[in-house]
Structure 1
Amino acid sequence: MTTYGYFLSSEDHGPRALVEQARMAEHAGFEALWISDHYHPWLDVQGHSPFVWTTIGALAEATRLPVETAVTCPTVRIHPAVIAQAVATSAVILEGRFRFGVGSGEALNEHILGTHWPRAAVRQEMLEEAVGVIRRLLTGERVNHRGRHYTVENARLYTVPDEPVPIDVSAYAPAAAEVAAVIGDGFITVGPDAELLRRFREAGGNGKPAACGIKACYDQDRDRATAMVHGRWPNMFLPGELAAVLPEPAHFRQATKLVTEQHVRDSPLPLGDDPEAHVRSLKACADAGYDRVYVNQIGDDMEGFFDLYRTKVLPQLS
């Protein structure tokens, strides 16, 4: 049976608003939470980017829902030994309701220390090594590691969860999906990509959970919803590797000048207040084979969104 969760956007809202949305999501009937981990928003207009690990601590007290980062890059901006401590503490404070979602990252967030931004194949190699280091540290054992990319010396985490933390790996290309199948406990992607999921399964991911994230824009006026998406999240429509290599929100603003409102209208993104459009979008992910589907509302009418899902969308998916 597919689980439906809510995707908390750290780029779009401050920490207090995210915590309140988590409460609203639980009340509406959502079963889990994703939360993004960024240093910058994609675009200045989105306007936020709180430290995800602080927000997770607040979420642990605000709801009883499971929480997962979607996703953290544990390779450049923060050393994997430090991320391991954040993961362990999050799992303990959430009493086992934490999954750790990881990915190879974007220059937007990882370039800030002035380090070289590697090509995709090297980023995947770094991710594989980082996940190995994190898994060892989460056991509470004393770790010494000297690898190609990371060194850890006499490190031990004293506060660790009773059970291993599941580590899910994101992928948006076939080669990355194959890496995810090898090193991950589960798979994360955006949109109902059945072919990418097939590659993950065939590469060794059979029996592992797969999660799909989508966006929606609830508004009583569909044209207003279209304009909201175009104005606030046009970066979703950028092709290829641009999302991984552009270093600043200003560069995304320049690139998204090529995105029109017609791109938004022609997309499968549910726009407006028709519950059937929202149901179709979520069902597309489930029909593609994904076990968990997370939806994020673009726009400020959170009460209207959660009311629609509580009364007319989620009941059709149960």
Structure 2
Amino acid sequence: MVFIGFHASHEQIAPSELLDAVIGAERAGFDGAMCSDHLAPWSPVQGHSGFALSWIAAALARTDFSIGMVNAPGQRYHPVMIAQAFATLAEMFPGRFWAAMGSGEALNEHVTRDGWPAKHVRNERLRESVDVIRRLMAGEEVDHDGLVRVHRARVWSLPAEPPPLFATAVSAETAAWTASWAQGLATVAQEPDSLRRVVDAYRSAGGAGPCILQVHLSLAKSDGAAFAIAREQWRNGLLSPPVTWDLEQPEDFVAAAEGLDEEPLRKAVLIDHDASSLAARIADLAEIGFERVYLHHVGTDQSQFLDAAANELIPALKERL
């Protein structure tokens, strides 16, 4: 049975409303949740960007299922602070917290004025940061002098079991690189052949743990209404790496998407007016090799989506998966 999760998008919804949504997701029958971790939204129209570490503590306290988050240590977040935060969450909520570690985007990291490194440098920094975080959560005193610098750091409040640290990857090359250190892989829906290459690269390189798929979708009463939601809220889906890694401001994403054909948005977002049809499309992606699938309805009205998920979408998915 594939795990069906709910994705909470901090970029689009105020933290208090998003907390209500994740509580509603558990009631609707989702198996767990995950959230983004942004300092800024992808576009001004999205209009929000709550602090994920504050929010996830509240969300775990108000629910009983597992909740994870995406995190990019090394620039905006020093790995020592992330180790302390993760250890505290795992100590308070044993077995329920996880994180998917990535190299980040300039959108969230440029605020330090440290400059935005090339992708290979960001990958090296990520690996160093993950090593530091793991050593600290194992109770070590850590010194490290590299792309991140640590002096005699120690985390004192430790969980009985450290949380799993997965990796994020969009390309097969990055997926293969993460296999040596990650405890699982998280990626985002794209063309099926590309997804197969990502999963195969991770598994072929010895990657262990779950493969996790995040699916952006828009479900409404008509195709036109569903497309309008995606066009208003998720035009950033028209852009892809490396462009999305390197833009600094929400307004830059708007400018970069200006004039692009909107039809490719249907490849970035599953747009549908029929829950059974949508379930079949999601199931086809999950069957590529994913143990967990997290669903992100890109609209700001999560209550209607959660009603549809409870009554139609989740039952249809459980029949297929």
TM over 0.5: yes
235-244 vs 105-114, greater mean Cα deviation: 235-244
C-alpha distance in 1 between matches for 2:155 and 2:219: 43
Map of 1:62 onto structure 2: 62
C-alpha distance in 1 between matches for 2:270 and 2:127: 35
Map of 2:179 onto structure 1: 181
- Indicate whether 1:167 and 2:165 are aligned: yes
Q: TM-score, normalised by structure 1?
A: 0.95
218-227 vs 132-141, greater mean Cα deviation: 218-227
For these two proteins, the number of residue pairs brought into alignment is 314
C-alpha distance in 2 between matches for 1:268 and 1:116: 29
Map of 1:197 onto structure 2: 199
Contact 2:5 2:30 in 1 (8 A): yes
Specify the SS of the correspondent of 1:40.
Answer: coil
Specify the SS of the correspondent of 1:6.
Answer: strand
Map of 1:97 onto structure 2: 96
C-alpha distance in 1 between matches for 2:7 and 2:85: 20
1:1-318 alignment to 2 at 5 Å?
1-69=1-69, 71-146=70-145, 148-191=146-189, 193-205=195-207, 207-264=208-265, 266-267=266-267, 269-318=269-318
Name the aligned partner's letter for residue 166 of structure 2: D
RMSD: 1.4
Q: What is the CA-CA distance between 1:268 and the residue it aligns to?
A: 6.8
Name the aligned partner's letter for residue 135 of structure 2: R
Contact 1:108 1:244 in 2 (8 A): yes
| Identity over aligned pairs, percent | 34
C-alpha distance in 2 between matches for 1:106 and 1:257: 20
Q: TM-score, normalised by structure 2?
A: 0.94
C-alpha distance in 2 between matches for 1:281 and 1:316: 11
Contact 1:182 1:204 in 2 (8 A): yes
C-alpha distance in 1 between matches for 2:162 and 2:300: 37
C-alpha distance in 2 between matches for 1:174 and 1:124: 14
C-alpha distance in 1 between matches for 2:143 and 2:113: 27
Contact 2:142 2:153 in 1 (8 A): yes
60-69 vs 4-13, greater mean Cα deviation: 60-69
Q: Alpha-carbon deviations, 1:6-40, whole Å to 9, x = none?
A: 00001011111111111111011100111000111
Q: Alpha-carbon deviations, 1:158-195, whole Å to 9, x = none?
A: 11110121000001122211221111000010015111
Specify the SS of the correspondent of 1:169.
Answer: strand
C-alpha distance in 1 between matches for 2:203 and 2:97: 23
Contact 1:60 1:93 in 2 (8 A): no
Name the aligned partner's letter for residue 47 of structure 1: G
Contact 1:226 1:261 in 2 (8 A): no
C-alpha distance in 1 between matches for 2:99 and 2:277: 30
C-alpha distance in 2 between matches for 1:159 and 1:317: 40
C-alpha distance in 2 between matches for 1:16 and 1:208: 32
Q: What is the CA-CA distance between 1:96 and the residue it aligns to?
A: 2.2
Q: Alpha-carbon deviations, 1:120-173, whole Å to 9, x = none?
A: 111111111100000000112222222x21221121111111012100000112
Contact 1:268 1:281 in 2 (8 A): no
Q: Alpha-carbon deviations, 1:27-83, whole Å to 9, x = none?
A: 1110011100011101011110011110011112211110111x2100111111111
Q: Alpha-carbon deviations, 1:220-250, whole Å to 9, x = none?
A: 1321221121121111121341110111111
Contact 2:220 2:273 in 1 (8 A): yes
| Divergent runs of 4+, >4 A | none
Name the aligned partner's letter for residue 88 of structure 1: A
Segments of 5+ residues of structure 2 without an aligned counterpart are: none
